[in-house]
Amino acid sequence: MRKKVTVVGAGNVGANCALRIAGKELADVVLVDVVEGVPQGKALDILQSGPVEGYDVSLTGANDYAPTANSDIVVITAGFPRTPGMSRDDLLLKNYEVVRSATEQAVKFSPNCILILVTNPLDAMCWTAFHVSKFSKNRVIGMAGVLDTARFRTFIAQELDVSVSNVTAMVLGGHGDTMVPIARLTSVSGIPLSELLDQAVIDRLIDRARNGGAEIVKYLKTGSAYYAPSAAAVEMVESILKDKKKVLPCAAYLEGEYGIKDLFVGVPVKLGSRGIENIYQIALRPEEQAALDKSAAAVKELIDVIKQKM
């Protein structure tokens, strides 16, 4: 029996997730959206690409969750997008309601699924889904660090004019302006970044990575990034479905790791068939820990607002 993945939200991120999952033949896909006709039309369009692209999976579009029953993974992308001048935090209460409702329906029809959150503000939406679903912490995961790391790696590769596949990087913390790229753990084919670039350049690249999403919003004007976010989410889906056990930076529920409790924060995790199979604790330098604490505090502020809403 083939695996089954539900993608909630048929906007740019969700539709591209569906397309990438189909293209890799990872699973049958159900695309869900509240707008009548949109998920049905996009699913049919992606399905009709199969004969040309050579993939052979089932794609279904729906406005309700009945067709999603018994999904292995539910990827929640639904929500309001960022607009120019809007921070991820501005999205908080709008998207809280969207994620709360989506989680309730997903869990009702797929009680054994793993939830991957993409909706912003990411870390707060993970916390929402975790408490609404009442799932174990290994089954609720946020897509943030994979995207943030991809952006950081891209800018490093551009700066050095090297293959991006040779660049490894680590980004911790909340998704957004307070993310914590760890430059000393970043390298090019094992060569420390500090031996290739001076600190001023590294700082500039870190700043650009932190503002990677806002930079794209500024260009698009009427939307936000979707190609890279969908690619990042699907890398997580693939690692879980194929039990690849990739070590990726993801938003995970912490219970004391890194001195943080009851929050979702980006940390390196092992992703396998059970979801998060291990959280890796890196020995941080004082300034790195301070930056991570600051990032966690920003996430906590959002959670405190949500708690008043619950």
With a cut of 70, list the residues of the chain below it in pLDDT.
82-84, 86-89
As beta bridge partners, residue 28 has 4
- Of the candidates 37, 52, 46, 36, the one whose C-alpha atom is nearest the C-alpha of residue 15 is 46
135 and 14 within one domain: yes
Range of the domain at 252: 145-309
56 and 43 within one domain: yes
Other C-beta atoms closer than 10 Å to the C-beta of 24 total 16
Amino acid at 221: K
Q: Residue 310: its pLDDT value, please?
A: 73
Give me the phi and psi of 290, to 5 degrees please. -65, -40
CA 4 to chain CA mean position, Å: 19
Contacts of 265 (CB under 8 A, 6+ apart): 123, 172, 173, 174, 251, 252, 254, 258, 292, 295, 296, 299
Q: Residue 1: its pLDDT value, please?
A: 83
Q: Residue 89: its pLDDT value, please?
A: 65
Number of structural domains found in the chain: 2
- The Cα 308–Cα 233 span in angstroms is 30
Residue after which a domain boundary falls, among 105, 125, 142: 142
291 and 172 within one domain: yes
17 and 37 within one domain: yes
- The Cα 265–Cα 301 span in angstroms is 13
Does the bond joining 39 to the residue before it have cis omega, within 30 degrees of 0? no
- Active centre residues (catalytic): 175
162 and 284 within one domain: yes
- The Cα 234–Cα 250 span in angstroms is 13
Question: CA torsion, points 181, 183, 184, 187, in degrees to nearest 10?
Answer: 110
> Domain with 236 in it: what CATH number?
3.90.110.10
Q: Residue 88: its pLDDT value, please?
A: 60
Q: Residue 271: its pLDDT value, please?
A: 98
Q: Residue 2: its pLDDT value, please?
A: 93
Contacts of 301 (CB under 8 A, 6+ apart): none
> Domain with 51 in it: what CATH number?
3.40.50.720
Q: Residue 86: its pLDDT value, please?
A: 66
91 and 115 within one domain: yes
Q: Residue 174: its pLDDT value, please?
A: 86
133 and 99 within one domain: yes
Q: Residue 82: its pLDDT value, please?
A: 65
Residue after which a domain boundary falls, among 142, 171, 203: 142
- Of the candidates 123, 103, 132, the one whose C-alpha atom is nearest the C-alpha of residue 309 is 132
| pTM to 2 decimal places | 0.95
